Chain A
Amino acid sequence: MFEKSLADLIRGLRANKKNEQKYIGSCLDEIRSQVRTNDPHTKATAIQKLAYLHMHGYDMSWASFHVIEVMSLQKTLYKRIGYHAAAVSFRQDTDVLMLCTNLIKKDLSSNNYVDTAIALHGLASIVTPDLGRDLCPDLIAMLNHSRPYIRKRVILVLYRVFLKYPEALRMAFPRLKEKLDDPDPAVVSAAVNVICELARRNPKSYLPLAPQLYGLLTNSTNNWMLIKIIKLFAALAPLEPRLIKKLVPQISSVIQSTSAMSLLYECIHTVIIGGMIGPETENGENEAQDSALARLCTAKLKLFIEEPDQNLKYLGLYALSKLLAVRPKAVVEHRDTILECLDDADVSIRMRALDIVTGMVTPGNLVQIVRKLMTQLLPPTADTSPSASYPPPSVTPILDATDRAHVIERIISICSQDTYTNVTNFEWYITLLTNLVRVRGVDVGTRLSAQLIDVSVRVPEVREFAVQAMTALIEDEGVMQSANQDMNNARVLVGAAWIVGEYCIYLVDPVRIMMRMLAPGVTRLPPTVQAVYLHNVLKIYGHWACTATDPTTTTQSILEALRPFKTSFDSEVQERACTLFEILHLALSDPALVPSIRALFSGELNPVAPKAQKRVPVPAGLDLDQWIHEPEPEPVQEEEEEEDNDRVPDEWFKQDVQEQIVDSDDVERRRQSRAERLKHDPFYIPSKPLYDDIDINEIPIVRLELNVPPEQIAPTRQVPKKKKKRPISPPPVPKTYSINRGGDMPENSVVSSEDDEVEHEVDEVTKAVMSVDLSLGEETRVESGTSQVDAKVDVPAKKTRTKSTKADKAGKTGKTGKTGKTGKKKTKTESKTKTDKRKKKKPVSIADPSLAPSTINKSLLAVRGLEMNTPYERVASPAPTEQAEQEWVDIGGDEQFQVAFKYKLLPSSTTLTLLFTNKTPSPLPLTATLSHTDQDLSMTLPPTSTTTRTLTITSTHHPTWLDVLGTKFLVPIPLSPESFNELVATTKWTYSARKTLPISGANTREVVSGVARVLGMELVEVVGDAGTLVMRGGQVVGLVKVLWETGGVLVEVRGVGEVEGVLERLV
């Protein structure tokens, strides 16, 4: 043996660092040949090496089949390698996964518990919905495994199965619940883990477990588990107020006593998010308790924050931010500690602190907090007046650009929250915003601009100050120059110009600001800014020219300054410049026009509510679906061409002829109508004046009242509104502001509830888990949608086995009566019972609890969780045909008992009657499992020789085997030829081939069994001419037909989907 071991490979990798690719390439080649050998050791080593390379990013999906080969090797050593490789490389859509089912099944039931554990680990990683469905009965049975080592693993693996195949949860839950009382603490812990995860997604179903969990909480000292239980209660508590009352003392005592930080943190977290502290009330009944608990939590969290350990600091801040929503007062007490964290070296901690700070701002502390934040953006030494040089000379950014933008965003949001509730001094706020302009490397101009406009619109008292500040901003050279930088705040000038223009009455020197806004440098600003500048120059001009003694000179210089803008590349700027130019030109020649310019912009603008547009009521009589213009009828010939374009219609020729012979009157008429149409077409230059036929005196003239005082015109500019303004109070100390907090809404606005609807998004896993409704009561009901199985045990009165068909019929009628009474069944339950002719006693159903023998397992009442929508269903459900009464068919037995069965195929289900016969006189408890059901069928045979019992089951599946006391018996229920043929015809075979196989057999059945065995699949009875069906987990995957030939066996194989590759390999 000269092949490389894993260690050799790793050593080689380290030795060949320079040409690693080449080395790995040669290794992969070697591995490719090694995986094909028959030596298990070589194969396993190759897979192990491959798994190692996979970790470094090399594909190993090509080797999936070989991985399975290694998994199926006998030795534990190799199994581990195989399962590990599967766990790392298999994905949900790996095709060979479907081959694993039986292999895993076998390993799970291995005598060597290490193998079982390995299989469980593999399964936890690779489980798919199919694997989950096929293996969950085995896993559920293993919950009662004798070794805790296996039990705890099974519990955790089942959680992974639930996520993929939620139906399993319904089946496993009762046993899972029992595991909370397991004698082994690790098993209990595992069960708590799983229930905790499940309950976080769907707490309601797990509320009944609260007492049991509470017991664990009080008695356990295992911190690992306590954390999970407490986390679990955080999910349950909000649903049940009484639970909170019971939990609070317990959790508080843990908080006070524990030394484990993780547990302490979990307790505090649960107290906060579990709703154990109610919101602050005046004299609520729990106020004393709640505030004490809140104080306890904050005191402990303060310890977290003051810890040198950054993790505790981070978590402490995180928990505090959660607490803030409920108990702001308790948190604000620790303001200074939190504010210190704003300076922490760790950006994650700073951001967490910022989260809290945002929530604890009050009018009293806003200034202090903002100042603190500002020091991170701009060093306090820098001159903060807006006229200071830009950028400030000594600015060394503490934060990087993204963080700075984040902090600015936070500053704005804490100031503006609830329409400036916390701002007491708006002059300060305007100054703050102008200072923020000077932060470098961020692009927040638009945000700042919107804030500035909003504040000055809402707060009339601050407008004068705002105008001064904005004048300074517009005149600031630094801001102008910053426009050349990559990230800049130049767009703030939009807001600045708007404020200056809108509230120009407060301007000290209108001419200077106008000239400033038209200065040559302005053309380098963004076009949006230029456009707003030009528009606002007009506003200022209108205001100023009314009062100016001699506006001519200034107007002329403005006209001169406008020239560069008139040739701007931006169409918006160009248009505005030209308009402005023309208006001013007019005003220059006719000074009487000046007041009307001012009138254009008079009237106050109010904020408009964000939803105003939506709420504008539709005017009565407005029908938007109605034609405004009746559309002209389509030209006739076009329609005809469309209708019938493969044959030229006769009419077409006729029309052609008609057009040629139209009279001259018609031509004249058409020409006129064309001229009429073109008259209004701006792209058409008429050859003669268009309006010579119009009497100029007939044009209606609307007289524009330009001298009307602004108050009267105002409403036309205003959005209809509901005034929410407060009366302006005389300014006391400190200054009060009347803030327009509302937004204007249209009159008669309709309030629609859909505006406020928030959709909750639920992730897929949660949906899946929530879809399973667990009935936790004692009574277990079958309620699984489409699938249903009823099981009944009939206890014949006399213990003699008779084969009388008459008796059967008697039993059947009796049974049907019973079924009618129970009523609820969806599936028609038929039962064939043997009763003693002489006694003619009705069969006793255990559905009646009073009659149920205590030895019969109650769970028989509910054999649940079968799926109906498998393709297999078609196999089992041929057209309903009345079948002749069947003879008992022996399916086998041992020295102690014998089993026989009868069946009846019904639409979408199979009714199976099993007959158990005692051979030796012993009181034998029998347990049996039917394929595709998860429940044990158990019964006791009385200790008389040749006693019989029958058991009737209706299954929506096509049962293929019966497991009695660990021995499997084939249940040879054949398909009807019709349904078989239908199945073959309706299945979409994706693969079809003829192969010579190295499989020998005496007859067709043996050969086909050989094929199925190799594929690890079940076989269905040979029926029809098409061949034999091969099934896997209840699904048809292949069809095999044997065509005999000398020398070998020629087989015609057909397959569905992923089986193709497997069939290919078979040959």
Chain B
Amino acid sequence: MAVKFMLLVSRQGKIRLTKWFTSDWTAKEKAKTVKDVSQTVLGRKTKMCNVLEYKDFKVVYRRYASLFFIAGTDLDDNELLTLEIIHRYVEVLDKWFLNVCELDIIFNFQQAYMIIDELLIGGELQESSKRSVINTLKRMEETEKQEAASA
């Protein structure tokens, strides 16, 4: 599996979003992973590389403004590709929220999840085109708005 999980953590260590691509882990394991990984990542200096090995998987992260985007992948996955996926996610977020900031993600966490879903499924990249992702999102928002109006 490509991406095992995706975390968005603020610089202060607050969890903004967690997305697991597997249901095999217990809540306890997940909590421990989130804690360990986010602490390790937050403890790294800016000059250090964005890849580290943790237990039996690799952690690839990148910081955008005050948010750390952290992905856990298999050991033999391409780190640069994972960085690209993270970047692609940030780009789509940016396009969707128009100049995304941390608050956008906090208050629209359902949409942030929706965007991840449009990019990745089961941890594999399913759509690499930003435009087509945005178009789908727009269509979906419209449908849901109509539904909300009819209610």
Contact = CB atoms under 8 A, between A and B. Distances in A.
Given A121-B117, A197-B1, A311-B80, A345 B45 contact: yes
A398 to B, nearest CB: 15
Contact of A159 (B124, B128, B129, B139): B124
A1001 to B, nearest CB: 33
A310 B48 CA distance: 6
B31 A227 contact: no
A261 B87 CA distance: 15
A576 to B, nearest CB: 46
B148 interface: yes
Contact of B49 (A112, A152, A157, A314): A314
- The size bracket of the interface on A is 35 or more
Interface string B67-88: 0000000001011110110000
Nearest to B56: A763
Interface stretch (A49-57, A809-817, A948-956): A49-57
A349 interface: yes
Contact of A310 (B49, B122, B147): B49
Contacts of B24: 92
Given A81-B110, A190-B124, A266 B50 contact: no
B66 to A, nearest CB: 15
Interface string B95-113: 0000000000011011001
Nearest to A14: B106
A91 interface: yes
Contacts of A90: 23
Interface in B1-60: 1-2, 15, 17-18, 20-24, 26-27, 31, 45, 47-52
Contact of A80 (B51, B110, B122): B110
Interface string A863-892: 000000000000000000000000000000
A59 B47 contact: no
A84 interface: yes
B15 A125 contact: no
Contacts of B121: 120-121, 124, 153, 156-157
Interface in A754-769: none
Interface string A106-141: 000000101000001100111110000000000000
B147 A348 contact: no
Contacts of A52: 109
Interface in A23-67: 41, 48, 52, 55-57, 59
Contacts of A197: 1-2, 124
B77 to A, nearest CB: 8
Contact of B143 (A76, A127, A224): A76
Main secondary structure of the interface of A (DSSP, over half): helix
Interface in A301-330: 310-311, 313-315
Contacts of A159: 122, 124
A100 interface: no
Contacts of A193: 2, 124-125
A194 interface: yes
A200 B1 CA distance: 10
A194 B144 contact: no
A1020 B109 CA distance: 45
Contacts of B18: 55, 88
B127 interface: yes
Contact of A190 (B17, B126, B140): B126
A153 B117 CA distance: 10
A349 B51 CA distance: 10
Given A55-B15, A156-B124, A265 B23 contact: no
A249 B6 CA distance: 37
Given A80-B110, A348-B52, A194 B124 contact: yes
A125 B122 CA distance: 7
Nearest to B84: A262
Nearest to B46: A310
Contacts of B113: 84
A186 interface: yes
A1028 to B, nearest CB: 34
A265 B107 contact: no
Nearest to A122: B117
B151 interface: yes
A690 interface: no
Contacts of A128: 23
A156 B144 contact: no
A545 B143 CA distance: 102
Of the candidates B49, B80, B106, the one having the most CB atoms from chain A within 10 angstroms of its own CB is B49
A346 B78 contact: no
A859 B76 CA distance: 38
B110 A6 contact: yes
Contacts of B27: 59, 91
Contact of B47 (A6, A152, A231, A345): A345
A121 B114 CA distance: 10
Contact of A265 (B80, B117, B127, B144): B80
A177 B29 CA distance: 36
A7 B109 CA distance: 10
Given A193-B2, A310-B50, A311-B51, A125 B21 contact: yes
A127 B15 CA distance: 26
Nearest to A264: B80
Interface in A899-957: none
Nearest first, the 3 A-B pairs at minimum CB distance are A262-B80, A310-B49, A124-B122
Given A88-B20, A315-B51, A346-B49, 12 more contacts: A6-B110, A48-B110, A76-B140, A121-B117, A121-B121, A152-B127, A157-B122, A186-B127, A193-B125, A269-B78, A314-B49, A348-B48
24 contacts: A6-B109, A6-B110, A55-B18, A56-B15, A75-B144, A76-B147, A77-B148, A91-B23, A91-B27, A92-B23, A114-B139, A156-B126, A193-B2, A197-B1, A231-B78, A266-B78, A310-B48, A310-B49, A310-B50, A315-B51, A315-B79, A346-B45, A348-B48, A348-B51
Interface of A: 6-7, 10, 41, 48, 52, 55-57, 59, 75-77, 80-81, 84, 87-88, 90-92, 112, 114, 120-121, 124-128, 149, 152-153, 156-157, 159-160, 163, 186, 189-190, 193-194, 197, 200, 222, 224, 227, 231, 261-262, 265-266, 269, 310-311, 313-315, 345-349
Interface of B: 1-2, 15, 17-18, 20-24, 26-27, 31, 45, 47-52, 76, 78-81, 83-84, 106-107, 109-110, 113-114, 117, 121-122, 124-129, 136, 139-140, 143-144, 147-148, 151
